[in-house]
Structure 1
Amino acid sequence: MALTLPAHPDPLTDRLHTSGLLTELAHGLGGPFHYLLPHRFDTNLAAFHAVLADAGVEGRVHYAKKANKAAVFIDRCAAGGAGADVASLGELREALGQGLRGEELVVTGPAKADALLRIAARHGALIAVDALDELARVLALGLPRPPRVLLRVHPTDQPGSRFGLVARDLDEAMRRCAEAGGQVRMEGFGFHLSGYDVRQRADLASDLVELCLKARVQGLPADRISIGGGFAVDYVPADAWETFLSRQNPGDYHAGRTFTKDDFYPYHSPVAGADALRAVLAASPARRGPSLAERLRGAGVTLLLEPGRALLDRAGGSVFGVQGVKDRDGYGIVTVDGTSLSLSEQWFNSEYLPDPQLLSTRLAHPQETVPYRACVAGASCLDSDLLTWRKIAFPARPQVGDLLVYPNTAGYQMDSNESPFHELPLPRKVVVDHLDGADRPRWRLDR
């Protein structure tokens, strides 16, 4: 029996998939493409804002722009009262150009270039300082308006992390900020924490609140903390995920490829998105005393968030055209008109696991089709170029001209690794509007 891993049912995207629009777009664009659903971004952003309001916590959501390069999501930030987390001069310029103000930006990333620091400071962006030498370069800018900085703290629970100031450097950074007086405005602390552990994030956030109180004694404003992103996305149902993890073996993959449980992103998460923020705020740090929300309110500390994937949940998919199919012993190899570089889980010795959906006119007559197992390969000359190593249980044998739709790929999958290898064009991004109305969906190219 083929091992399946279907995404959560989504009636709205099902409507798009059956509308005929994707087939027209594949023909008109002449290659693979990604579709974007900005109204889903709006819904996810509103959910984060609602959690902050329910908890009585002063907070600010900054969309982690690295999660998707599309301009439309920055547009939605400007319209929905969110800022952005940027980590390069290009991302900074794009965010400013799409309508966000400098003070609505947080600039992260290690060892920032001088040009990035200078322009970020001139526009009033909040700069997350990651090292003492970076702080020295900020202090040397000599701008009329003091740069706004956040000191990034090294997470003691993740000693292998390359981000943040260790304890002795943090003390030195606070001393330098205090002595600098009007040369800098040190507004608080932040951290970069890998993974999705709610309690670990709440505990470290509580430590940052205490650091704010300590910094105020030294005359520093220190009225905000950033807990970064780390809000999981729930892609697939719990039972499907548990079955997949317990049953998957080399026989399920082309060429007997092997994966361990640790290779995979946690595609099912019982607490995800804005609900994960709710759990962080409700947690009692160190399992005692007031909740994190109470500590934030009591200390007068603003909470900054930098979600990326969680704001993009169900906000887009990736579409590839079938170019050919070859039969192997017991399964097939479907080759599509793109490459695995457009599904970025390969960064992590893994692959994107939710099942792709076959769009074919033949599926209107299921009694005339026979199920077919196949992996999905890219159109390059690399033997390792597979979008999906797993042998997918398609409802019929794909044919040239059919489409494969990978669901829910807006968060990191679409463009983190894209490359015009072989001079193949990068997939275009198509914004789909009015999907939930009575009329036919409308589309436009992302700028």
Structure 2
Amino acid sequence: MGGPADSAPPAGHGESPGASAIGPVHCAPPMPADVDPLERRLLAHPHLLGDIAAAVGGPFHVLFPERVARNVTAFHEAFRAAGVDGFVYFGKKANKAACVARACAESGAGIDVASVGELVAALAQGVRGEDLMVTGPAKSDELLWLAVRHGSTIAIDALDELARLTRICAGHDQISRSTPPTRTGGPTPAGRPARILLRIQPDGSTSRFGLDRAELAQALRSAPAGGPVLLSGFSFHLSGYDATARADLAATLVEHCVRARADGHLADTISIGGGFGVDYLDAGSWTRFRDTSSEKWFHGRAPGQDYYPYHFPVPGAAMLTAVLAHNRLAEALRTNGIRLSIEPGRALLDRAGSSIFRVQGGKTRTAHGEPYDILTVDGTSLSLSEQWFDSEYLPDPVLWPARPGTITASCVGATTCLESDLLSRRRIPLPRRAQVGDLLVYPNTAGYQMDSNESTFHELPLPPKVVVREVDGRPGWSLDATAR
């Protein structure tokens, strides 16, 4: 690195009198993430990451679609083990990569979409229309029209949305379009029933989403059996990651289905949304950080304490198993012939990708009598998302290539003119001092980190997505369709 990183480490770096066994006292403890075996091989390869970085010419994201397929399979196996008819919809908002949607199509998973763009992108990767769940508030008429045309299930969030959908199905509304009618695939779907779930608002919730008790009763009156919409069942979404709360509310949805059937409705499906946690860090690393976090570990001020639960002891498909086991929910589903749909996003992307930035500068500063490096990389924290929620992405980046050196406290800033734009405010104990041209590989970022806040701020290009697959026993790469 130009300047301090090209010179000998100043006094106080690494083995200073104030250093602990795990690193300098003025930086955070190490928090390494467990990564997918394919990623370990990628990191161990002497040239491949460097070759990709040279070809791309800037920051990039790496994705491992085979890992997505394995995660889908794990959820399918949890359903089978419980003897439950279940279906997995990938929450597409968690990642826009085409290879993820294709992995879902090939693995027998559907996709949860909330916009025309997401619906079209899912269809383009081979997901069938009947395997789409259309969610989100106040859906546009165009989205509703397309959903009906493709036989997708629509989660109704409000009474006026139900009224608009009913008119579309009955052919009473013509949808305003910016393209000529000859390019829309035909007229409105008059007479074709729409499959719907009614999204309920949990009692006591202040959420802006879903139907409260009075609205639910009115929706049932507005969608009689045999009408232009087909009531397939009910759904909910809960914040947080509580398996018990999901199981209890799912049991309530089963009761709704039983009552709706008495009125002639099909009501054979419930959806409990997502919120299946991901285990990023081992218990010891997470506990040490959570219980002993210090202002001394951060450049500037420490972020707020609203961290994602980075150690999640019962993650993903194991959490689904816990939901199904609570209060014999699986038995209730089997007895009543009800399908359970889920809409995980992050959990299907666990260990399915990483974000890579090139070090392009650095300087040394001092805090609490100890020096540390401020690295500048060729991207922004918009590509790591968490900072923009006054939080911090906690799994440590891997410094590539691996070389011997001395532990160096380092935080990571972006290549923008904003003081607050840091990828890592924490002073991370990197295993050696970073130099210009080195890569920082942030692990397990496929779930929301890559896409939630992407922006071409400063007219910087968005990091492209690179697909890494095993080819003849070694990793090979190509650009994702979204990057071409």
> Could you say which TM-score interval applies, normalised by the shorter chain?
over 0.9
Pairing of 1:298-447 with structure 2 (within 5 A): 298-329=335-366, 330-360=371-401, 363-364=402-403, 366=404, 369-434=405-470, 438=473, 440-447=474-481
Q: Tell me the equivalent position of 1:175.
A: 221
Partners of 2:36 and 2:196 in 1: how far apart?
42
From 194, 200, 221, the equivalent of 1:153 is 200
Q: Name the SS for the 2:224 alignment partner.
A: helix
1:5 aligns to 2:31 (yes or no): yes
Distance 1:57 1:147 in 2: 25
Cα distance between partner residues in 1 of 2:280 and 2:434: 24
Aligned residue runs from structure 1 range 250-329, under 5 A: 250-260=295-305, 263-284=306-327, 291-329=328-366
2:102 pairs with 1:75: yes
Which whole-Å deviations, capped at 9, do the CAs of 1:392-418 have from their partners, x for residues lacking one?
Answer: 101111110000000000000011111
Please list every run of at least 4 consecutive aligned residues from structure 1 whose deviation after the TM superposition is greater than 3 angstroms. Answer: 9-12
What is the one-letter code of the residue matched to 1:341? L
C-alpha separation in 1, matches of 2:449 and 2:380: 12
TM-score of the pair, normalised by structure 1: 0.94
CA displacement at 1:11 relative to structure 2: 4.0
Question: Which of the numbers 53, 60, 67 marks the counterpart of 1:26?
Answer: 53
Q: Tell me, what secondary structure is at the counterpart of 1:192?
A: coil
AA paired with 1:279?
A
Q: TM-score, normalised by structure 2?
A: 0.87
SS of corresponding position for 1:54: helix
Contact kept, 8 Å, 1:250 with 1:258, in 2: the verdict is no
Over aligned residue pairs, what C-alpha RMSD do you find? 1.2
1:140 aligns with 2:171: no
Measure the CA separation in 1 of the matches of 2:245 and 2:396: 32
Q: Which amino acid in the other structure matches residue 310 of structure 1?
A: A
Q: Which residue of 2 aligns with 1:105?
A: 132
Which AA in structure 1 matches 2:378?
D
SS at match of 1:255: coil
Rounded Cα–Cα distance in structure 2 between residues aligned with 1:420 and 1:408: 23
- TM-superposed CA distance for 1:4, in Å, is 1.9
Q: Which amino acid aligns with 2:73?
A: A
Of the three residues 39, 44, 60, the one matched with 2:66 is: 39
Query: 2:179 — aligned with what?
Result: none
Letter in 2 for 1:5: M
Q: For structure 1, which runs of at least 5 residues remain unmatched after alignment?
A: 285-290
Question: How far apart are residue 97 of structure 1 and its match?
Answer: 1.2
Q: Distance in 1 between matches of 2:37 and 2:468?
A: 15
How many angstroms apart in 2 are the aligned matches of 1:397 and 1:25?
A: 23
Match of 2:288?
A: 243
Distance 1:241 1:39, change over 3 A: same
SS in 1 for 2:241: coil
Shift of 1:10: 4.5
Match of 2:230 in 1: 185
Cross-structure match for 1:203: 248
Residue 17 (structure 1) aligned with residue 60 (structure 2)? no
Letter in 1 for 2:409: R
Q: What is the distance in 2 between the residues matched to 1:408 and 1:111?
A: 32
For residues 168-225 of structure 1, give each alpha carbon's deviation from its aligned partner in whole angstroms, at most 9, with x where no partner exists.
100110111116x331101000001111101000000000000000111111110000
Partners of 2:164 and 2:247 lie apart in 1 by 31
Alignment partners' CA distance in 1, 2:346 and 2:302: 27
Q: Is the 8 A contact 2:362 2:373 kept in 1?
A: yes
- The answer for the alignment partner of 2:209 in structure 1 is 163
Q: Contact (CA 8 Å) 2:382, 2:388: kept in 1 or not? A: no
Could you tell me how far apart the structure 2 residues matched to 1:427 and 1:281 are? 39
TM-aligned CA deviation for residue 257 of structure 1 = 2.5
Counterpart-to-counterpart distance in 1, 2:201 and 2:408: 50
What is the rounded CA distance, in whole Å, between the counterparts of 1:147 and 1:383 in structure 2?
Answer: 50
Q: Equivalent residue for 1:287?
A: none
Aligned residues: 430
Query: What amino acid is the match of 1:444?
Result: S
Query: How far off its partner does 1:251 sit?
Result: 1.1
User: Shift in Å at residue 348 of structure 1?
Assistant: 2.4
**How many Å separate the matches in 1 of 2:384 and 2:480?**
19
Q: Please point out which of 252, 268, 284 is paired with 1:223.
A: 268
SS at match of 2:103: helix
Rounded to whole Å, the distance in 1 between the matches of 2:342 and 2:304 is 33
Alignment correspondent of 2:16: none
Contact 1:249 1:258 survives alignment (8 Å): no
- Whichever residue aligns with residue 155 of structure 2, its letter is A
Structure 1 distance, partners of 2:227, 2:301, is: 62
Higher helix share: 1
1:382/1:61 CA distance change after superposition, 3 Å: same
How many percent of aligned residue pairs carry the same amino acid? Answer: 57
Shift of 1:351: 1.6
Q: Give distance in 1, aligned partners of 2:76 and 2:232.
A: 22
CA contact (8 A) 2:35 2:351 kept: no
Q: Give, in whole Å, the separation in 2 of the partners of 1:370 and 1:200.
A: 47
Structure 1 residue 214 corresponds to structure 2 residue 259: yes
In structure 2, runs of 5+ residues without a counterpart are 1-24, 171-189
Q: Which residue of 1 aligns with 2:19?
A: none
Pick closer, same or farther for the CA change 1:91–1:81 going to 2, 3 Å.
same
